[in-house]
Structure 1
């Protein structure tokens, strides 16, 4: 008889496959983000908002200040000092489930960014600020998309925006725009160049459009689940921090009374939800559609 505490080879392989794919996506996405920062954005004094916008400005401010970093504090390493406390705050306030993958993501971005910067000797791949904004924003957007596909995040000010928006009737996008605007203004004060905000906003705009193009779905999705295993699925989704309602319905063909789970979830969690539901009921019917704005906070998972 097989020891139930020891996972079978089939189970291990099933888990290792998606994990290897997620790690590959994180590595590719992190490298692309770092390439955008180290090869196009930072060397051209562009402030893309977020943590890396802050560290690019600090890099300029500290140029020639420290003997160990005569060219300024390294952008990637400095970003770590911002991202670590932001991640801890997110895990405490938001119950962030992707902690390990997020840690891997922002560490890789930091290492790749500093490595690319040293390899290029702090020089840009393209010296034209308009082209650098376009290429940098586009590459950054593709990198972020790969990271999102792995159900990870690079932490940063989007986490701070989620914390501020949580429990308030404020759109997350509005919070992030305000934070990024403050960062861009900070960059203007540091570089004292009126062109900085223009090219910075161009980069942010292109980056946002690329992410939207690659991920056309709304951030929130409404999901209907019809299953004969409603209670186990409800418990599983509650443990994931997903909220919703149980509706009473009746099948059109057989007229059988059934309970229907209705939930609202973030787009990046849909694959996880589908996987969990299929594991409990392979015959479950799952339908998704775009959801409107949902200003209410998603409650933390109940203590087990």
Structure 2
């Protein structure tokens, strides 16, 4: 049977042509995917180097000269350095080794391990190099400014590392696990994971500097989220109304946004109600409320925050990075 089938295929030029075209498409698709993979890897490692260097610069300019603990194991290394004088970068890398194993187990295996080890090594080497060759770096003595700009630059740096599917090591690994496993926002996760370090910093450097360090950690966590996810924070409106057509028509016409209509029932009254769902930008929220008020002043409206929105009218849904 197989021999006859092969003979039929050989005697059918059209079937052979289609088979050849299909094989060509498969080869082209594989080549395209390989090219994309190489480009993505090159981009990721460029981000790792950029993020690690920026993090080292942030530590050197804003945190270390003013005894503001950056949190995590780099902050722990700062505290140990105060009493021993050992290089902060080297200490940070050594303290990271046990957490490399944890990250390998929960955050992506060997690929994650290689990228995180590289990031930690570049950070440690760059920081110790800056400390040795540029030992008198000091932009300002204002603790508030150092906490603010230290948090911003460190947050952007760590966000770049996360975009490259790596971390700088230390409690970044623990924060990433909390974010992935439990949905904890990174700004909160850093406060949880770095709380003990900040407490020890208060004992070592004084409580005023520890309080400024908390500000820096929170600002850094917010900037990590913005760098990692972009500024695509949207608003999602749930509208319970007796005038669904009027409300939906105004939203589609004035805001150019799609609307989904659900059927609902009030559990108290037992009355059938229409539930409209739509996503809008933060800037359109005021106009949305104005539209709803004009179309149905008695509507019940819930407006919440969506971290990301994908699909028609918003960003295209792509494969997670």
Structure 2 segments unaligned to the other structure (5+ residues)? 1-29, 232-307, 309-316
Q: Is 1:41 equivalent to 2:63 in the alignment?
A: yes
2:97 to 62, 80, 84: 84
Q: Specify whether residues 95 and 15 from structure 1 end up closer, same or farther in structure 2 by C-alpha distance, changes over 3 A only.
A: closer
Name 2:76's counterpart in structure 1.
54
Q: Is 1:25 equivalent to 2:47 in the alignment?
A: yes
| Distance (whole Å) between structure 2 residues aligned to residue 211 and residue 172 of structure 1 | 10
Structure 1 segments unaligned to the other structure (5+ residues)? 1-7, 63-71, 219-266, 268-272, 277-304
| Distance (whole Å) between structure 2 residues aligned to residue 25 and residue 182 of structure 1 | 30
TM (norm. structure 1) is 0.59
| Distance (whole Å) between structure 1 residues aligned to residue 179 and residue 43 of structure 2 | 32
Which stretch of the first structure deviates more once superposed, 87-96 or 129-138?
87-96
Q: Specify whether residues 203 and 107 from structure 1 end up closer, same or farther in structure 2 by C-alpha distance, changes over 3 A only.
A: same
1:144 to 155, 158, 177: 158
Name 1:75's counterpart in structure 2.
88
Name 2:173's counterpart in structure 1.
159
Shift of residue 10, structure 1, vs aligned partner: 6.5
Q: Is 1:210 equivalent to 2:232 in the alignment?
A: no
Q: Specify whether residues 59 and 50 from structure 1 end up closer, same or farther in structure 2 by C-alpha distance, changes over 3 A only.
A: same
- Two-structure CA RMSD over aligned residues (Å): 3.7
Shift of residue 17, structure 1, vs aligned partner: 1.6
Contact 1:57 1:190 in 2 (8 A): yes
Name 2:269's counterpart in structure 1.
none
Q: Which has the higher contact order (CA 8 A, sep 6+)?
A: 1
Q: Specify whether residues 181 and 131 from structure 1 end up closer, same or farther in structure 2 by C-alpha distance, changes over 3 A only.
A: same
Shift of residue 166, structure 1, vs aligned partner: 9.1
Q: Is 1:119 equivalent to 2:141 in the alignment?
A: no
SS at match of 2:102: helix
Shift of residue 147, structure 1, vs aligned partner: 1.0
Contact 1:39 1:120 in 2 (8 A): no
Matches within 5 A, 1:265-284: 274=318
Shift of residue 215, structure 1, vs aligned partner: 3.6
Q: Specify whether residues 194 and 44 from structure 1 end up closer, same or farther in structure 2 by C-alpha distance, changes over 3 A only.
A: same
TM (norm. structure 2) is 0.57
Q: Specify whether residues 150 and 79 from structure 1 end up closer, same or farther in structure 2 by C-alpha distance, changes over 3 A only.
A: same
Larger radius of gyration: 2
- Cα deviation, 1:208-239, whole Å, max 9, x if unaligned, reads 22223334479xxxxxxxxxxxxxxxxxxxxx
